[in-house]
Amino acid sequence: MTLRTLDSLGSLAGKRVIVRCDLNVPVKDGVITDDGRVRASLATLDAILTQGARVVVISHLGRPDGEPKDEFSLAPVAQRLSELLGKPVTFASDTVGDAAAEAVASLSDGEIVLLENLRFNAAETSKDADERAAFADKLAAFGDVFVSDGFGVVHRKQASVFELASALPSAAGLLIAAELDVLDRLTENPERPYTVVLGGSKVSDKLGVIGHLLPRVDTLLVGGGMMFTFLAALGHSVGSSLLEADQIETVKGYIADATERGVEIVLPTDVVVAASFAGDAEHEVTAADAIEETSFGSSGLGLDIGPETATLFAERIQASKTVFWNGPMGVFELEPFAAGTKAVAQALTEVDGLGVVGGGDSAAAVRALGFSDDRFGHISTGGGASLEFLEGKRLPGLEVLGWQ
């Protein structure tokens, strides 16, 4: 079986189409600070609205633990979605209650409503399949067909992702189709040289990806907090830097496996070490094998790759035809420790081939550092879903749409 796409649903004119988007954007004091996921949903919504459908958008935001909480309301998202679509977006103040029913019943062809946060209902994320199915049936009553387009949640067996796709004629939206196309290019016959850049805080979060991609890549660049577990695996002291001591033996195994396969693992040659975790902390650059030889001694914290490493990583990225990057190189939120991440992002914009920013913190970082989305080959909205795909795991939200 292959993925069911929008075309499989036939004409949507006059039909009520429920669209599961991933509008889980950061909101501070009622203001969206990064609307990337809202923008990513526009292509599918435009395609459906253009057909004259009546569109019911559903999404989650944050983790409200199954009850309504003002700070997790989708109201700001409805406003932003309206601005980006250039047309009114009605907002229903509940998900399957009277407000939602009235808003859906009032829709005319070509109009759109956004229902309140799915996760205000505990059944959405329940471990009980019957509870999820009952909630999905309530949602299904609002539609004639279902379009799943929230790639960031397809690795979750949740009511709006899994059971709803079985309750109505269903298909994947344009965003999911595009994400899968890119991920397929990263795993099946990628153009070479193929480089994967991994960062972020914990190596344990990336072990599955490393294991699954090692047979497929030419070069692996390692930065971020996870680099210290790799450095420790080589026998280097890392001061008070983030270290997962219980993963050292596993990392040693990956290093040996990479050597046997002829895959080059490139680790930082220099590191920015600070006295404390703060933007105004005293800091200095030192060799990666001499972290405890700084003026901070064993209390020093490595918070970014150094300038020599940033140049090295950039050169490797620019020389590649396929690059996948997931995880910042340092604490990019603090200006003194953002240079490594910025160098990697800049290099990725200069790839003569496919350069992919792997969602999550990486996507937030490139936007925070001033890069526009269109400078990259692809910015994934997936985060965890992308990583699980690259680990070779089965994703229930895709399988229910026919993906094998």
DSSP characters over 355-398 = EEE-SHHHHHHHHHTT--GGGSSEE-S-THHHHHHHTT---HHH
Q: Are 305 and 250 in contact (CB under 8 A)?
A: no
CB-count exposure of residue 214 (10 Å: 0-12, 13-18, 19+): middle
Which residue among the candidates 36, 52, 377, 384 is catalytic per the annotation?
384
Residue 384: active-site member: yes
- Binding-site residues for ATP sit at 206, 302, 333, 359-362
- What CA–CA distance (Å, rounded) separates 173 from 150? 8
Residue 65, CA distances (Å) to 75, 76, 124 in order: 18, 20, 10
pLDDT at 268: 98
Which residue among the candidates 4, 16, 20, 37 is catalytic per the annotation?
37
Q: Are 300 and 274 in contact (CB under 8 A)?
A: yes
Longest dimension (CA), the chain: 70
pLDDT at 145: 98
Residue 202: active-site member: yes
With 60 as the cut, is the pLDDT of residue 92 above it? yes
**Domains of the chain (ranges plus CATH)?**
6-176 (3.40.50.1260), 190-391 (3.40.50.1260)
Name residues whose C-beta falls within 8 Å of residue 53's C-beta, 6 or more positions apart in sequence.
12, 13, 14, 15, 16, 17, 109, 110
Task: Give the model's confidence band at 306: pLDDT under 50 very low, under 70 low, under 90 confident, else very high.
Answer: very high
- Binding-site residues sit at 22-24, 37, 60-63, 119, 156, 206, 302, 333, 359-362
Which residue among the candidates 39, 69, 192, 202 is catalytic per the annotation?
202
Rounded mean pLDDT of 324-335?
Answer: 95
pLDDT at 71: 94
The order of strands in the sheet holding 270-274 is 283-287, 270-274, 301-305
Residue 360: active-site member: yes
Greater confidence, 384 or 344?
A: 344
With 70 as the cut, is the pLDDT of residue 199 above it? yes
- Binding-site residues for (2R)-3-phosphoglycerate sit at 37, 119, 156
pLDDT at 69: 95
Task: Give the model's confidence band at 68: pLDDT under 50 very low, under 70 low, under 90 confident, else very high.
Answer: very high
Q: Are 287 and 267 in contact (CB under 8 A)?
A: no
With 60 as the cut, is the pLDDT of residue 1 above it? no
pLDDT at 387: 85
Which residue among the candidates 223, 360, 382, 397 is catalytic per the annotation?
360
Residue 223: active-site member: no
pLDDT at 327: 92
- Judged by DSSP in three states, 12 sits in coil
- What CA–CA distance (Å, rounded) separates 268 from 311? 10
- The DSSP secondary-structure symbol of 159 reads I
| Exposure class string for 131-162: b at 16+ Cβ within 10 A, else e | bbbebbebbbebbbbbbbbbbbbbbbbbbbbb
Rounded mean pLDDT of 276-282?
Answer: 95
pLDDT at 310: 98
Structure tokens at 330: 């340092």
Name residues whose C-beta falls within 8 Å of residue 328's C-beta, 6 or more positions apart in sequence.
199, 200, 223, 224, 340, 341, 361, 362, 365
Q: What does the pLDDT look like over 108-139, one tens digit per residue?
A: 999 999 999 999 999 999 999 999 999 999 99
Task: Give the model's confidence band at 384: pLDDT under 50 very low, under 70 low, under 90 confident, else very high.
Answer: confident
- Binding-site residues for substrate sit at 22-24, 37, 60-63, 119, 156
pLDDT at 258: 96
With 90 as the cut, is the pLDDT of residue 205 above it? no
